[in-house]
Amino acid sequence: MIRVGVVDDHAIVRRGLVALLGADGELEVVGTAGDGDAALQLCLDQHPDVVLMDLSMPGIDGVEATRRIVQQAPGVQVVVLTSFVDRERVVDALRAGAIGYLLKDAEPEEVIRGIHAAARGESPLDPRAARTMLTVQRADDPLGALTEREREVLALVAEGLPNKQIGRRLEISEKTVKAHLTSAFRAIGVDDRVQAGIWARRHGL
């Protein structure tokens, strides 16, 4: 059973998502939140496997909430579910630690598939968000597309450490290591650990 948290400042959206996810026998909604503070508390209290995160919310927005969840509730996979696909929001959300980025006009089945993918440590990305990130990667220094944690993980990959030892060194779960690697591979455009290790050494990690 995949434990899911739903974060959106609109009650009607939260209720709709709860109903949608409840129809999947492998998903269990363990809580909902209407703002970033409540989202963090939900993750600390319930430890969901995946959180669907809106970006535009009063107070602490979805990007900052994602950053705090990644820091304070490691192992929780954050998947953005928003109406926005502009460059700044996509980049900020993924750099904050979101593992996926989906849009609210997606088909319901896409959202459900995205949750399952995130629970496996994969990175569900709407094609429009993926194109935005590709443009950013071409224009920017590749290191700028990595979070600090992703850089740490890549540096240990370059040393030849397996995921279990990386997890012990960084005091995070092996599942979280895999999630960071999936995101890092996508950011730097490689397909496996060997390529990632070579890339990390070339870029001084």
Looking at residue 114, which CATH number applies to its domain? 3.40.50.2300
Give mean pLDDT, residues 192-197: 87
Give mean pLDDT, residues 190-203: 85
Full domain range(s) for residue 188: 142-202
Q: Is the pLDDT of residue 134 over 70?
A: no
* 147-166 confidence digits (pLDDT tens): 889 999 999 999 999 999 99
Give mean pLDDT, residues 13-25: 96
Last residue of a domain, one of 137, 159, 194: 137
Q: Report how many domains make up the chain.
A: 2
Q: What is the pLDDT of residue 137?
A: 57
Give mean pLDDT, residues 55-73: 94
Q: Is the pLDDT of residue 128 over 70?
A: yes
Last residue of a domain, one of 137, 166, 183: 137
Looking at the fold, whether 18 and 118 belong to one and the same domain comes out as: yes
How does residue 172 score in pLDDT terms, banded at 50, 70 and 90?
Answer: very high
Q: Are 63 and 38 in contact (CB under 8 A)?
A: no
Looking at the fold, whether 71 and 19 belong to one and the same domain comes out as: yes
Q: What is the pLDDT of residue 203?
A: 80
In the beta sheet, which residues pair with residue 197? none
Looking at the fold, whether 73 and 154 belong to one and the same domain comes out as: no
* Exposed e or buried b per residue across 95-129, where buried means at least 16 C-beta atoms within 10 angstroms of its C-beta: bbbbbbbbbeeeeeeebbebbebbbebbbbbbeeb
How does residue 136 score in pLDDT terms, banded at 50, 70 and 90?
Answer: low
5-9, 28-32, 74-78, 185-189: the lowest-pLDDT one: 185-189
Look up residue 35 and give its amino acid.
D
Last residue of a domain, one of 113, 137, 161: 137
Kindly report the average pLDDT of the chain as a whole number. Answer: 90
Q: Is the pLDDT of residue 77 over 90?
A: yes
Angle at the Cα of 32 (from 27 to 36), degrees rounded to 5? 125
26-30, 43-47, 88-92, 129-133: the lowest-pLDDT one: 129-133
Cα–Cα distance, 168 to 166 (Å, whole number): 5
Q: Is the pLDDT of residue 142 over 70?
A: no
- pTM confidence score: 0.68
Give mean pLDDT, residues 17-44: 97
Looking at the fold, whether 101 and 169 belong to one and the same domain comes out as: no
How does residue 140 score in pLDDT terms, banded at 50, 70 and 90?
Answer: low
